[in-house]
Chains A and B, each alone.
Chain A
Amino acid sequence: MNDLGFENPWLLSALLLSLPPLWRSGVKPTRHACLSLLPPDALSGWLDWLLRILPAAAIALATLGAAGMHLKQQKIARLAHGAHMVILLDRSKSMDNSFAGQTPSDGEQSKASAARSLLNKLVDQRRRDLIGFAAYSTSALPILPLTENKQALHAAIDATASPALAYTNISKGLALALAYFDQKPTAGSRIVLLVSDGAAVIDPDSEAALRQLFKRTQVRLYWLFLRTENNPGIFSTPEDNRDDNPQAMPERYLHMFFTSLGIPYQAYEAEDANAMRQAIADFDRLEQFPLPYFETIPRQDLSGVCFTAMSISISLLLGLKWLEGRK
C-alpha cells in the first residue's frame, strides 16, 4: 500500500459518498397485495445485493480515479559495471593553447576543446556511472554533484568552451574532488579523473591535508596529463640535479606525490588528441567494477484503470435497470 500515491489526496474524502447506495438502492418499490405470498427467491436476493454494491463501487472508483491514484516511482536495486566518478578539469589559461603550446590556428584543436569532446564521449559511454563535475583554476569550482543526468553533464562540459580562467591551483581542485566522496557511504568504486595540462607546487599544509583525505575517501585516481610539446612530462627525469625540485618540475613531483599515496593510481601522458583517446579507452576498460545502483521505474498511472472499472460497474447497473420489472 505504501507504493500507492494520489495526485489530489484531499479528493479521497468523497469516498464517503459511496456509502449512501449501500442502504438505499435506486429501485422504485412496487405495491404488492401480500408479500408473504411470494416465495423466497435467492436470485432476487443476489440482485438486490448487486444493486447496492455496484453504484457504491462505481462512486468509489470514480473518486479514486479523480484523486489520481498511481503507483509511486520505484527504485529497484540492480548490479552493473560502473563507478562513482568525479571529473576534475583544469581551467587554467594554458588549456586554451594547442598541444604545441601556441594559440590554436585554423584547424588546430586547443587542449581544452580536445578534452571537451573526449569527456562528452566518456560521459555517454559510462552509462551506469554517477558522474560529478568540478573544475579548478586559482580556486576550485564545484559544478555538478554526482549525477546520472547526462544532459546536465553535457551542459557543464560544453560550458567550459568559454575562455579559461586563471592559474593552476591543483591542491584546491583535488580537495574539492575528494570532498565529493567525503562523509558519504562507500558504494562501488570511486574514481577521480584529473584532466590537466600542468601541475603546480602543493604546499606542505595542503599536502598533509590531501594525504589524509585520500586515505579517508579511498578513491582510485587517474591523471590524464596533456603534455605540451617541449615541456617536462610526468615521467621525465632531470638532466641536471639542480633542476630536481618541485618548482622546476611540478609534474614529476605531483606524480611522485600521487604514487606515494598508496592508492590505486594510474597516470597517462597524452601529447595529442589521439593519445588522449587511447588513455580514455584504457581507463574505460580498466574501470569495470560491479556497482550497485538503483534503476528508477517511473510512476504508473492507475486512474485510467479506475475509470474503466467504474464504467463496467455502471454498464452492469444499466443492464440491471433494463431488467427491472414495472407495472
Chain B
Amino acid sequence: MPNPTFFRDFRAWCLILSCISFLAMQIYPRISKEQPIYDLTLIVDITRSMNAEDYRLNGQPVSRLEYVKHCLRELLISLPCQSKLGLGVFTERRAAILFTPIEVCSGFPEINASIASLDWRMAWAADSRIAHGLFNTLQEMTDKNSGLIFLTDGQEAPPINPRYGPDFSSLKRQTSGFIVGVGGLQPVTIPKFNTLGQRIGVYGPDDVPQRTSFGESDLNPEKIDGYDARNAPFGRAAPVGEEHLSALREDYLKQLATESGLGYSRLTNAGDLARAIGASKPARTTKQFEDIRKYYAACIIVLLLAQLI
C-alpha cells in the first residue's frame, strides 16, 4: 500500500524533518559556554564613620554601612553559580573573617542573612586603623587563593602618623583584589550612640582626637610652633581639624591600593561592585551549559504548522 507519491508530498517531508529535529534535540540538547567563576572574600569596615549618612536609597538617606549591605546583596544575586563568597568585618586594626568563601547558590540564604546582620555593634574595639587592618587582612589571606574586596571609607581614627604606617612590600601582589571606597566626597557628620544603642546626636570637634600625638612628627621641627623634642613633638598649638566629620579619603585609599598591589574602585551605585568584579580576573572559568531544546521545539512547531497548508 505504500504510496510512491509519499516522498513527493512536502507535508510528509515536514513530518520527517520534525522527527529529525527531535533526534537532533536528543543528541545535542545543550551547548556549553565559558563562564567566569569568582572566589572573593568581602571585608566590610564596620567602624563608626561608616554610620555617616551620605548615600540615598529609595529617596531616603542611609548610612554607608546600610548602603554597602544593599550593594553586597545585589552582588550576591549577580554572581554566577559555583562562585564563592566569604565575609568578614574590619574594625580596630584587623579583620575578623566570619566565614571562608562558600558557594553562592547553595549558600544564598546563609550569605544573605549574614550580610543583613552586619552591624557596627559587632565591633570589638572602636579604633579604625585601616592601613593596619588591610595589612593584617592581606597577611591572613596569603595562600588562601581568594580575591579580596575591602570596603572602607578610608578614615583612620584616631589619625595616624604617616611615619609609622605598615610596610606592605612583603605582601605586595600576594593577593589579588581591590579596595572599594565608600562614602561621599563632602565631609558629613557622624552619628553618635549611647551605650543602649540610642542615637544621641553627632560627634563634635572635642569628641575625637584631631591629630596624631604618637611618636615623632613627620614635619620639619623648625616649622612646628613650640616644638620640643621630648615634651611637645607636635608643637604647642591646640589641635584643630575636621576629624569629627567624615568623607571618603580617596587619595589615601588609592595610595594604600598602590602600596599593597590592589586595585581601587569607588562605590557610587549598586552595579559598581559587579562591574569592577566583572572587569577583574576570575578565579577560574567553567563550562556552563545552556538548554537549547526550546529552539528545536520552535522549529518543530513551525514544521507542524507548515504541513497544514
Residues of A within 8 A of B (CB): 8, 11, 14, 17, 20-21, 24-26, 28, 55, 58-59, 62-63, 65-68, 91, 137-145, 147, 149, 151-152, 155-156, 158-159, 162-163, 165-167, 303, 307, 310-311, 314-315, 317-318, 321-326
B301 lies within 8 A of A149 (CB): no
Question: What is the distance, in angstroms, from B119's C-beta to the closest C-beta of chain A?
Answer: 8
**In the assembled complex, which residues on chain A have CB atoms less than 8 Å from the CB atom of B106?**
149, 151
Question: What is the distance, in angstroms, from A323's C-beta to the closest C-beta of chain B?
Answer: 7
B11 lies within 8 A of A311 (CB): no
From B3, B114, B301, contact of A17 by CB (8 A): B301
Q: Bin chain B's interface residue count.
A: 35 or more
**In the assembled complex, which residues on chain A have CB atoms less than 8 Å from the CB atom of B300?**
58, 62, 310, 314
Please give me the residue from chain A that is nearest to B120 by CB atom.
A139
Bound Cα distance A138, B298 (Å):
63
Instruction: Please count the residue pairs between chain A and chain B whose beta carbons lie under 8 angstroms apart in the complex.
Output: 152
A326 lies within 8 A of B3 (CB): yes
**In the assembled complex, which residues on chain B have CB atoms less than 8 Å from the CB atom of A91?**
96
Interface 0/1 of B96-133, CB less than 8 Å to A: 11111111001101110110010001111100000000
A147 lies within 8 A of B109 (CB): yes
Say whether, besides A58-B300, A149-B106, A310-B300, A326 and B5 are in contact (CB < 8 Å).
yes
Question: What is the distance, in angstroms, from A86's C-beta to the closest C-beta of chain B?
Answer: 13
**In the assembled complex, which residues on chain B have CB atoms less than 8 Å from the CB atom of A140?**
122
B3 lies within 8 A of A325 (CB): yes
B19 lies within 8 A of A321 (CB): no
Count chain A CB atoms within 10 A of each CB in B18, B19, B113 and give the residue with the most: B18
Q: Can you give 28 A-B contacts (C-beta < 8 A)?
A: A25-B308, A26-B11, A28-B9, A62-B304, A66-B294, A66-B297, A139-B122, A139-B123, A142-B117, A142-B122, A143-B98, A144-B113, A145-B114, A151-B103, A152-B107, A156-B98, A159-B88, A159-B98, A159-B100, A166-B124, A307-B25, A310-B297, A311-B22, A314-B15, A317-B15, A321-B12, A322-B3, A326-B3
Say whether, besides A142-B114, A159-B99, A325-B3, A26 and B307 are in contact (CB < 8 Å).
yes
Say whether, besides A66-B293, A151-B106, A156 and B305 are in contact (CB < 8 Å).
no
B97 lies within 8 A of A26 (CB): no
Leading 9 A-B pairs by shortest Cβ distance:
A66-B294, A66-B297, A156-B99, A138-B124, A145-B113, A155-B99, A62-B297, A26-B307, A142-B117
Identify 20 new A-B residue pairs, CB closer than 8 A, beyond the known A159-B97, A315-B19: A8-B294, A17-B305, A62-B300, A65-B297, A143-B98, A147-B109, A147-B110, A149-B107, A151-B106, A152-B99, A152-B102, A155-B102, A159-B100, A303-B293, A314-B304, A318-B12, A321-B12, A321-B15, A322-B12, A324-B9
B97 lies within 8 A of A162 (CB): yes
B19 lies within 8 A of A14 (CB): no
Question: What is the distance, in angstroms, from B306's C-beta to the closest C-beta of chain A?
Answer: 9
B15 lies within 8 A of A143 (CB): no
Count chain B CB atoms within 10 A of each CB in A140, A155, A165 and give the residue with the most: A155
Count chain B CB atoms within 10 A of each CB in A8, A25, A139, A167 and give the residue with the most: A139
Say whether, besides A66-B293, A310-B22, A321-B6, A59 and B304 are in contact (CB < 8 Å).
yes
Question: What is the distance, in angstroms, from A5's C-beta to the closest C-beta of chain B?
Answer: 15
Please give me the residue from chain A that is nearest to B3 by CB atom.
A326
Interface residue? B16 (CB, 8 A): yes
Residues 260-309 of B contacting A (Cβ, < 8 Å): 291, 293-294, 297-298, 300-301, 304-305, 307-309
Bound Cα distance A317, B307 (Å):
11
Interface residue? B228 (CB, 8 A): no
Count chain B CB atoms within 10 A of each CB in A28, A163, A314, A315 and give the residue with the most: A314
Interface residue? B218 (CB, 8 A): no
Say whether, besides A147-B110, A151-B102, A317-B15, A63 and B22 are in contact (CB < 8 Å).
no
A137 lies within 8 A of B304 (CB): no
Question: What is the distance, in angstroms, from A110's C-beta to the closest C-beta of chain B?
Answer: 17
B140 lies within 8 A of A162 (CB): yes
Bound Cα distance A326, B11 (Å):
13
A155 lies within 8 A of B101 (CB): yes
A307 lies within 8 A of B305 (CB): no
**In the assembled complex, which residues on chain A have CB atoms less than 8 Å from the CB atom of B301?**
14, 17, 59, 62-63
Question: What is the distance, in angstroms, from A317's C-beta to the closest C-beta of chain B?
Answer: 6
Count chain A CB atoms within 10 A of each CB in B1, B12, B15 and give the residue with the most: B15
Bound Cα distance A137, B121 (Å):
12
Say whether, besides A162-B97, A314-B304, A143 and B109 are in contact (CB < 8 Å).
no
Interface residue? B184 (CB, 8 A): no
A149 lies within 8 A of B110 (CB): yes
**In the assembled complex, which residues on chain B have CB atoms less than 8 Å from the CB atom of A151?**
102-103, 106-107
Bound Cα distance A63, B293 (Å):
11
**In the assembled complex, which residues on chain A have CB atoms less than 8 Å from the CB atom of B11?**
26, 28, 321
